[in-house]
A = this chain, B = another copy of it.
Amino acid sequence: MVGFIIITHGDFGRQLVKAAQIILGEQKEIWALSLHEDDGLDTLSERIAKILKKGNERSEGKIIFVDIFGGTPANASLKFVNDEKVEIISGVNLPMLIAGINYRRSLTLKQLARLIRRKGEESILDVKQKFLDRVSKAKDK
């Protein structure tokens, strides 16, 4: 199973994990790290390194989700850019985390990272338009 680390400015990563668990129930091998004002890049990198060590021999690897490319959480995770057992994805949202949880037992690390990115892109929708399309399709039937 692929493990997940969610790293964000402030506590929204932690709450994002909670939201996924409201929908899918309790999950293992998910860690959330919050960047607070007094945290430096090195402190954060050390905290990531500690989590990466957990159960690495039996795991498929880990995906680090960060909030925004170029932010401190993303930059701290770049320390692990040469680790073959780590993938890093920016722009984390709820559908990405849910897709990740649903497929992390059945895909390789790289396959899973690709799927999560695609699901993330597809999750950003014009909800009004999508709804009206569905209504008009239903009428056509």
A88 close to chain B: CB less than 8 A: yes
Q: Given contacts A11-B18, A15-B10, is CB(A78)–CB(B127) below 8 Å?
A: yes
Contacts of A64 on B, CB cut-off 8 Å?
Answer: 127
With contacts A10-B18, A69-B130 known, what are 8 further pairs, Cβ within 8 A?
A22-B37, A69-B95, A69-B125, A88-B127, A91-B120, A113-B126, A120-B124, A121-B124
The CA-CA distance from A123 to B121 in the complex, in Å, is 9
A123 surroundings in chain B (CB, below 8 A): 68-69, 90-91
Give chain B nearest CB distance to A115 CB in angstroms.
12
Q: Which residue of B lies closest to A92 (CB)?
A: B93
Interface 0/1 of A117-141, CB less than 8 Å to B: 1001101111110111000000000
Given A67-B94, A94-B67, A95-B68: A19 and B15 within 8 A (CB)?
Answer: no
Set B11, B19, B71: member contacting A9, Cβ < 8 A: B19
A101 at the A/B interface (Cβ < 8 Å)? Answer: no
A-B contact pairs, 12 of them (CB 8 A): A8-B94, A10-B15, A10-B18, A22-B37, A67-B95, A68-B95, A68-B98, A78-B127, A90-B125, A91-B95, A117-B124, A121-B121
CA distance A89 to B127 in the complex (A): 6
Chain A, 11-59, CB within 8 A of any chain B CB: 11-12, 14-16, 18-19, 22-23, 37
